[in-house]
Chains A and B, each alone.
Chain A
């Protein structure tokens, strides 16, 4: 076995990238795991709203000339889109088999992709980093780290804390958890569970779209960009444990680390190159290991 170690400054930069990628994944996956855990709905189209977010950021930033305003307007639009989708389609799925959910939400992917093509076209776009975040912090004489990426991580951490606070400490959070454990009982205590579900779904969509918006300046905006994200997000949900927001955070960070370092480390076992050649598999190997060890995921509830 032979390792090729990274120089420390490269390592530091990759670590920051890994955390930033993981946190962004968490934003997308948290909505997916909540909707899955609370409403029991598998939303394959969740990643499409990551793409919609990126396109919204691009077109609204062009329109307003300001990414900040674009994000505020974009989040409001995403909430409305999410609420409308729940009301039109998703609420018909709660009592149905997963097969119907997969069919309907796969159909949504195709529709969203087609609408995107009609509204915005099929070109790849770049979104400029806002001026006040455009600087870089020098790490060594030759290396520096963009402030915008640090800002992404900071925003994601703030949102993760806010989410934990709402779910664990507020009456709304109690209501959401109660509804997840026993829908009928929650209703019989006067909770409008349909409204709670509409809000949770809309917030999940808005989080995915928001992730797409803040990622747009670093990842560019292109057709099908949600499809890569959704697969990794399902891996996050499965590793973290279905329905667990805490699990999604830990799993997303783990995946960020494994994916990033899988691509930059060099590893040879018995003369056969393993990394980075097989880096594309690293995330799935991680999932397999976690599932062998804990089939319900890191923070999932053990099946009774």
Chain B
């Protein structure tokens, strides 16, 4: 896997919402098995960058290659089927489907037919969901909803898992449990892009980190570098 090149290779991404120019030439490269932290204050363009990569907001300029194939303007489902799973901000569970159906509807083997994440394994990873299988999506607590979206993403057997603000609005203990599980998932060799406010928690899991300010990359470096230079976090993230 290591020598097949990056899973995602996005270069010079410019994204717009109508007239407002949000991303100004951002690069994002993710290699197999790598965990990347994507950080920045609110409104700096993190979600927009992810949506550009996922085909949900095709970039005005720049290119997105997935496993070496040009997917700059590909439909989102093709990009997903190339092995990328997305846990969006605000979760995006299907409230009109039960917990079980939310998981089943996403199930598919990964690229190359891998089937490591079965229904049973996902439930074993999130035992809390087991008691909720017949419930509708909106009957779940915030933490359970987040577990469901992560579990659902895993059902697609992704090579890259993208988590946008996975612990946003969760009680500290629940957030801790989510971080523990994210750590477990990354340890299985799935690559990840993590967007989160909690610098310490992110850098504990990630190899490399990117900080966005107003749609531009202002820092890119290892977690060790970030920890060694608290000034960087202070300047760009305010923590």
Q: Which residues of A come within 8 Å of B, CB atoms?
A: 171, 174-175, 177-178, 180-182, 184-194
Q: Is B54 an interface position by the 8 A CB rule?
A: yes
Which residue of the partner chain, among A177, A178, A182, A192, contacts B75 with CB atoms under 8 Å?
A: A192
Cα distance A111–B218 in the bound complex, in angstroms: 58
A129 nearest CB across to chain B (Å): 42
Cα distance A171–B106 in the bound complex, in angstroms: 9
Cα distance A213–B106 in the bound complex, in angstroms: 37
Which of A174, A182, A191 counts the most B-chain CB atoms under 10 A from its CB? Answer: A174
Check if A189 sits within 8 Å of B96, measured CB to CB. Answer: no
* Chain A residues closer than 8 Å to B81, beta-carbon distance: 190
Check if B77 sits within 8 Å of A178, measured CB to CB. Answer: no
Contact residue range for chain B? Answer: 20 to 34
* Chain B residues closer than 8 Å to A182, beta-carbon distance: 92, 94
Check if A174 sits within 8 Å of B76, measured CB to CB. Answer: no
Check if A192 sits within 8 Å of B105, measured CB to CB. Answer: no
* Chain A residues closer than 8 Å to B237, beta-carbon distance: none
* Chain A residues closer than 8 Å to B152, beta-carbon distance: 189
* Chain B residues closer than 8 Å to A192, beta-carbon distance: 75, 77
Which of B77, B97, B104 counts the most A-chain CB atoms under 10 A from its CB? Answer: B77
B window 84-101: CB within 8 A of A: 85-86, 88, 92, 94-97, 101
Check if B156 sits within 8 Å of A190, measured CB to CB. Answer: yes
Q: Is B108 an interface position by the 8 A CB rule?
A: yes
* Chain A residues closer than 8 Å to B106, beta-carbon distance: 189-190
Check if B105 sits within 8 Å of A184, measured CB to CB. Answer: no
* Chain A residues closer than 8 Å to B80, beta-carbon distance: 187-190
Cα distance A138–B55 in the bound complex, in angstroms: 64
Which of A186, A187, A189 counts the most B-chain CB atoms under 10 A from its CB? Answer: A189
Cα distance A186–B104 in the bound complex, in angstroms: 13
Cα distance A174–B137 in the bound complex, in angstroms: 13
Check if A189 sits within 8 Å of B156, measured CB to CB. Answer: yes
Cα distance A193–B80 in the bound complex, in angstroms: 12
- Beyond A171-B104, A187-B76, A192-B77, is A180–B88 a contact (Cβ under 8 Å)? no
Closest to A194 in B: B75
Cα distance A175–B101 in the bound complex, in angstroms: 9
